[in-house]
Amino acid sequence: MRCHSLVQQGWLDGLFYEVRGQGETILLLHGIGGSHTMFKPQVTSLSKHYKTVTVDLNGNGNSESVKTKSYLTTHIKCILALMDHLKIKRAILVGLSYGGIITQLFAIIHPDKVKKMKMILIDTYSRIQPKNLYEL
């Protein structure tokens, strides 16, 4: 059995994150008003077989708030920066509610960063603003 203890916890430019486990990476994104802690039961189980990465999106949980008119763009840039910082080439993405919107848009903009386009979308929708990439 693989070790699933806390591997890393920290902040990257005000974005709080936790990494647990080893192996293929699963990145979990919460909804508005949530935090990384909402995935505790899933991380407990998944980190036995995978590397799990949870974040507190900017303005939520332990992360700093940002002044922007384009939160989606900001969240996507932060996720990309975090993946680069943690040397994650590709990940399976899990998005809950607003996290699902971020997941879908991230996959459209950075398909090379999503493991075989594997995404798990929970209680989310796909009609999002901006309606196209040029509105970012």
What residues pair up with 16 in beta bridges, in sequence order? 11, 56
The pLDDT tens digits of the residues spanning 73-114 come to 899 999 999 999 999 999 999 999 999 999 999 999 999 999
pLDDT band for position 7 (cuts 50, 70, 90): confident
- Tokens 């998005």 appear where? 95
**Cα(24)–Cα(26) distance, rounded to whole angstroms?**
7
| Domain total of the chain | 1
- Is the pLDDT at 131 greater than 60? The verdict is no
pLDDT band for position 125 (cuts 50, 70, 90): confident
Residue 72: both structure tokens together: 């989606």
Q: Tell me the pTM.
A: 0.86
**Residue 72 is part of which domain span?**
6-135
| Averaged pLDDT, 121-135 | 70
Q: Is residue 16 part of a domain?
A: yes
Q: Is residue 1 part of a domain?
A: no
Q: What is the CATH number of the domain that holds 80?
A: 3.40.50.1820
Q: What is the mean pLDDT of the chain?
A: 88
Q: CA-CA distances (angstroms) from residue 39 to 24, 36, 67, 121?
A: 17, 6, 26, 14
